[in-house]
Amino acid sequence: MSPWTEADIPDQTGRTVLVTGANSGLGLRTAQVLAGKGAHVLMGCRSVQRGEDARLSVPGSAEVLELDLADLSSVRAAAEKVAGKVEKLDVLVNNAGIMAVPNGRTADGFERQFGTNHLGHAALTFLLLPVLRRSTDARVVTVSSLMHQYGRMNLDDPNWERRSYSARGAYSQSKLANLLFMRELQRRSPDVMSMAAHPGMTATDLANNMADAHRSAVMRAGGKLFGLFSQSVEMGTLPQLFAATSPDAHGGAYYGPGGFNGLWGHPAASGMTAAARDDLAANRLWELTIKLTGIAPDLP
């Protein structure tokens, strides 16, 4: 069978897609491709100005939605705008993220990586479930990472308040949380197809931002080397595009590059660690997410 490419994406005319972090990298490429295939794309961006600049490169119907995942009041406001703006939401791509940044807190006091990468996206998903259910083929695609395999889900201290902070550990935990959330969403709301994807080793702004954020020469060098040996953004975006559009994508599945160790290549099913397949942990994280965000999803 031929490798899956952008050419295999079905016509998206009449579909509405929300992509978080759509002003650069994987998010911008996702917006460009789906708008080019006929979808109306809502570009969730923390900076409206950067979003508007990026929108100029999107060949089709797109508009910028102000969205700061590190601030639950912004998440609520964005979800409210979407609910009042669109008849239905067909695809939510939870793409935005921060990686291996120094210790810090979100507007609501959560550890920045857990708060942004998991809690912000979970809250947005919870709030948009009623709008997603208006679609006959609703999908939620959550972008995780190969780094999830190093993650340890500490549900007693998810915000690193009682542990010595590790930038790498916090990032890996947030990416593990993405997969646990994806699987639990599929279990609890099977009428909305929930999947995850990862870009393998792809040259995005995340690596550069990680390098610039750390004073450590080792961390800076690691970020630069990552960029040197990475595949293109066009290739790295394919797994999430596959999950968002392919008739062959399945709920509860995880997609990534099918090449060596999941680092490069065309989309294929990707493996999850035992920790990511822990149903008890997924259930506990779901309940903790509701408690921390104060948002309870409307379930069938």
Q: Which residues, other chains included, contact 249 with Cβ-Cβ below 8 Å and sequence gap of 6+?
A: 139, 193, 195, 242, 243, 255
pLDDT given at position 207: 53
Give the C-alpha separation, 100 to 219, whole Å.
Answer: 9
pLDDT given at position 205: 67
Q: Which of 64, 63, 194, 180 is nearest to 132 (CA)?
A: 194
2 — pLDDT class (breaks 50, 70, 90): confident
Active site residue 171: yes
229 — pLDDT class (breaks 50, 70, 90): confident
Task: Decide if 231 contacts 256 (C-beta within 8 A).
Answer: no
pLDDT > 70 in the chain, percent: 92
- Is the pLDDT assigned to residue 1 strictly greater than 80? no
pLDDT given at position 227: 56
Check 150, 165, 171, 254 and give the catalytic one. Answer: 171
244 — pLDDT class (breaks 50, 70, 90): very high
Task: Decide if 210 contacts 157 (C-beta within 8 A).
Answer: no
pLDDT given at position 29: 98
**In this structure, what DSSP letter does residue 68 have?**
-
Give the C-alpha separation, 225 to 219, whole Å.
Answer: 10
pLDDT, tens digit, 9 for 90 and up, residues 119-138: 999 999 999 999 999 999 99
pLDDT, tens digit, 9 for 90 and up, residues 23-35: 999 999 999 999 9
pLDDT, tens digit, 9 for 90 and up, residues 34-68: 999 999 999 999 999 999 999 999 999 999 999 99
- Is the pLDDT assigned to residue 212 strictly greater than 80? no
Tokens found for residue 34: 């789906």
Q: Which of 190, 180, 141, 147 is nearest to 289 (CA)?
A: 180
Q: Taking each helix axis from N to C terminus, what angle separates 217-228 and 205-213, rounded to the nearest 10 degrees?
A: 170
Q: What are the C-alpha distances in Å from 101 to residues 81, 129, 152, 213, 250?
A: 30, 30, 17, 6, 33
Q: Which residues, other chains included, contact 164 with Cβ-Cβ below 8 Å and sequence gap of 6+?
A: none
pLDDT given at position 54: 98
User: What are the helix (H) ranges across 229-278?
Assistant: 233-236, 238-245
